[in-house]
Amino acid sequence: EIVMTQSPATLSVSPGDRATLSCRASQSVSSNLAWYQQKPGQAPRLLVYGASVRATGIPARFSGSGSGTEFTLTISSLQSEDFAVYYCQQYHNWPPLFTFGPGTKVDIK
Amino acid sequence: EVQLVESGGGLIQPGGSLRVSCAASGFAFSNYAMSWVRQAPGKGLEWVSVIHGSGGSRYYADSVKGRFTVSRDNSRNTLYLQIHSLRAEDTAIYYCAKAATPYDILVYFDYWGQGTLVTVSS
């Protein structure tokens, strides 16, 4: 099983600042990595897939990078609506055994 | 517009069984794999199961294998998850999620339902 880890667990950021979230896979997942945002009481929302492709309707301030085992989600200038929990997910191994990271909570500094 | 609406959650005693459903609309349901993902209160996301669009292939997380059964009725555009021998640790919101591309099963999820809460307690 591929284990996903995320750091930091919590990131305190001021509005307008840049946030950098990390995700690591226990073995290579190539570029088969997605990022989701979840706000309290809501379902997750797809932000990025293929490690770096923004999903439809996602603002340009969100960007993903990386491949293999190391990935980053960057929010260039945090807006109030961006304070949420962010999860990475791999969809690489066969048979399908999708795994999520434990999440990074981005809160207001 | 894609819509996924879960139902069937509730309070169940340990050892009991339950079937949760996900009604889909706004896309060609039979062409897309569908997954169940759960989230225990205050915890992260845990993928539970996936079923191919045809219903022919099904896969499960090790934590639920043997107790959970995923199925679908493409004539009713509905996804199901049958849960047996419920345990306290199965308490969670159960989300259905749609594969982003047709015909593939190993795909990220582009739409999620709002979830249905299953609480296992005596």
B8 and B18 in contact (C-beta within 8 Å)? yes
Q: What is the pLDDT of residue A79?
A: 95
User: A95: pLDDT confidence band, cut at 50, 70 and 90?
Assistant: confident
**Range B32-52 average pLDDT:** 98
**Range A76-82 average pLDDT:** 94
**Shortest CB distance from A100 goes to which of B45, B105, B111?**
B45
Task: Report the distance separating Cα A23 and Cα A15, nearest Å.
Answer: 23
Q: What is the pLDDT of residue A49?
A: 98
User: B117: pLDDT confidence band, cut at 50, 70 and 90?
Assistant: very high
Handedness of CA B52, B55, B60, B64 (dihedral sign): positive
Query: Taking Cα atoms as reference points, which of B53, B107, B51, B109 lies closest to residue B82?
Result: B51
Q: What is the pLDDT of residue B58?
A: 97
Q: Do B106 and A87 touch (CB under 8 A)?
A: no
Test mutation, B108, B110, B112, B116, chain A, max A CBs within 10 A? B108
**Shortest CB distance from B47 goes to which of A46, A49, A100?**
A100
Percent above pLDDT 90 for chain B? 100
- Give the β-pairing of B109-112 and B92-99: antiparallel
Lookup: tokens for B36:
């169940």
Distance of CA B72 to the CA centre of its chain: 10
Task: Catalogue the E-assigned strands of chain B.
Answer: 3-7, 10-12, 18-25, 34-39, 45-51, 58-60, 68-73, 78-83, 92-99, 109-112, 116-120
Q: What is the pLDDT of residue B45?
A: 98
3-state secondary structure of B105: coil
Stated length of chain A: 109
B16 and B82 in contact (C-beta within 8 Å)? no
**Shortest CB distance from A96 goes to which of B44, B50, B100?**
B50
pLDDT, tens digit, for every residue of A34-46?
Answer: 999 999 999 999 9
Q: A13 — phi, psi (to 5°)?
A: -135, 145
As to burial, measured by CB atoms within 10 angstroms (0-12 exposed, 13-18 middle, 19+ buried), residue A109 is exposed
Touching check for A64 and chain B: CB below 8 Å?
A: no
Task: Report the distance separating Cα A88 and Cα B113, nearest Å.
Answer: 19
**Range B49-74 average pLDDT:** 96
Q: What is the pLDDT of residue A93?
A: 87
pLDDT, tens digit, for every residue of A1-14?
Answer: 899 999 999 999 99
**Range A26-40 average pLDDT:** 97
Neighbours of A108 (CB within 10 A): 10
